[in-house]
Amino acid sequence: MLFLAKAALGFGAILALSGAYVFHEGVIRVDVDETRGDCHHVHVWVPATVVPIALQVVPRVKLQQAAEQVRPYLPLLREIAKELQKYPNAELVDVQQPGQHVHVSVHDSRIFVDAVSDEDNIHVRVPVQIISDVADRLESVAPGV
């Protein structure tokens, strides 16, 4: 009985710590709801920690192709990510017109992009740090492309 209690305790502690590690960089959240046509609904919640690991297992050729395409924007992406970390809470852009509302803000070092219209609702939440990680990874696979 005592052995089982200790095993359960150890398992619980490991679960809590691994959960803490997986979620310590936050969660990437993408919600897309369409009210027209086929009414697609996409809801993705991914721990941000997964992204750098996933980038390590993506075939290098694919990453190089991606890097070549976004190369001109990498310095800009890196600067934006670096600067946004200094402003963890900010309302950056807000555009409203009848039937449409686009809002870009930063809260707790996460970028919030909300685009709401009569036909589509799109909500994206991405930790700022992830942008920097992705830019660094793309730079490392294709330096000076």
Site of interaction with another protein (CB under 8 A): 2, 5-6, 9, 12-13, 16-17, 19-21, 23-24, 26, 72, 75-76, 78-80, 82-84, 86-98, 108-109
Considering the complex, state which of residue 68 and residue 79 has its C-beta at the smaller distance from another protein: 79
3-state secondary structure the chain: CHHHHHHHHHHHHHHHHHHHHHHCCCEEEEEEEECCCCCCEEEEEEECCHHHHHHHHCCHHHHHHHHHHHHHHHHHHHHHHHHHCCCCCEEEEEEEECCEEEEEEEECCEEEEEEEECCEEEEEEEEHHHHHHHHHHHHHHCCCC
Considering the complex, state which of residue 53 and residue 93 has its C-beta at the smaller distance from another protein: 93
Strand bridging mode 90-97 / 27-34: unpaired
Give min distance, CB of 20 to another protein, in A: 4
Considering the complex, state which of residue 58 and residue 88 has its C-beta at the smaller distance from another protein: 88
Q: What are phi and psi of 78, to 5 degrees?
A: -65, -40
Give min distance, CB of 75 to another protein, in A: 4
Considering the complex, state which of residue 37 and residue 144 has its C-beta at the smaller distance from another protein: 144
Give min distance, CB of 39 to another protein, in A: 27
3-class DSSP state of 90: strand
Considering the complex, state which of residue 26 and residue 51 has its C-beta at the smaller distance from another protein: 26
Give min distance, CB of 17 to another protein, in A: 5
Give min distance, CB of 53 to another protein, in A: 18
